[in-house]
Chains A and B, each alone.
Chain A
């Protein structure tokens, strides 16, 4: 079955760059879309961004200036880089597969997206 595994340093210093990788097994990274989501301690889920298998991306406007998501099809991995981190970026970071269901309305096709497979999450603390 499809499995996702996040990896990266558990501690990042303030003002530095957070780098995480998600390794996909059981599915080709070239056949799907992929997301990053995070959850600060005791808080709700926050969408960070997603990447298409083509490399096209879309980001949460509140994080867009600090985030880059990239994909490496040769390794079946995708990655997250977040620059200039502060304590507010301390969170559990999840990667997930993004799928869609096609809806037809007024002869137009639209896609309803959802995340059907998630990694277990990796905790990142921003601390000096």
Chain B
């Protein structure tokens, strides 16, 4: 099974800051990685797929990069609505399996 490890588990930041979250896979997953945002009591929302493709309607302050085993989600100019928990998800394999990272909580400093 492919394990995804996110770091940090939580972070504190201020409005306007740039935040970077890392997701590391236990084996190479090419670019088969997506990122999601989840606010308390709400369903997750897709932000980025295929490591770096921004989903329709997602603000351009969100960006993703990486391939192989190391990936990053960057949020520039953090906005109040960005305080949430972020998850990475992989879909590698034949047949393609699915697993999520443990999540990174972005809190207000």
Contacts and interface: CB of A to CB of B under 8 A. Distances in A.
A61 B95 CA distance: 12
Interface bin, chain B: 20 to 34
B98 A47 contact: yes
Contact of A45 (B53, B91, B100): B100
Interface stretch (A16-24, A68-76, A81-89, A109-117): A109-117
Given A47-B98, A114-B89, A101 B53 contact: yes
A120 interface: yes
B96 A45 contact: no
Given A44-B87, A101-B50, A103-B31, A118 B43 contact: yes
A32 to B, nearest CB: 14
A121 to B, nearest CB: 5
Task: Using C-beta atoms within 8 Å of the partner chain, give the interface range for chain A.
Answer: 20 to 34
Contacts of B45: 118
A35 B87 CA distance: 17
A119 B43 contact: yes
A37, A113, A118, most chain B CB atoms within 10 A: A113
A105 interface: yes
Interface in B68-109: 87, 89, 91, 95-103
A37 B99 CA distance: 10
A112 B103 CA distance: 20
A9 to B, nearest CB: 20
A58 interface: yes
Contacts of A101: 49-50, 53
Interface of B: 1, 30-34, 36, 38, 42-46, 49-50, 53, 55, 87, 89, 91, 95-103
Closest 3 CB pairs of A and B: A113-B91, A114-B49, A47-B98
Given A44-B100, A45-B89, A47-B89, 18 more contacts: A44-B102, A45-B36, A45-B44, A47-B99, A50-B98, A58-B96, A60-B97, A61-B1, A94-B43, A112-B31, A113-B91, A114-B34, A114-B89, A115-B34, A115-B44, A116-B49, A116-B55, A121-B43
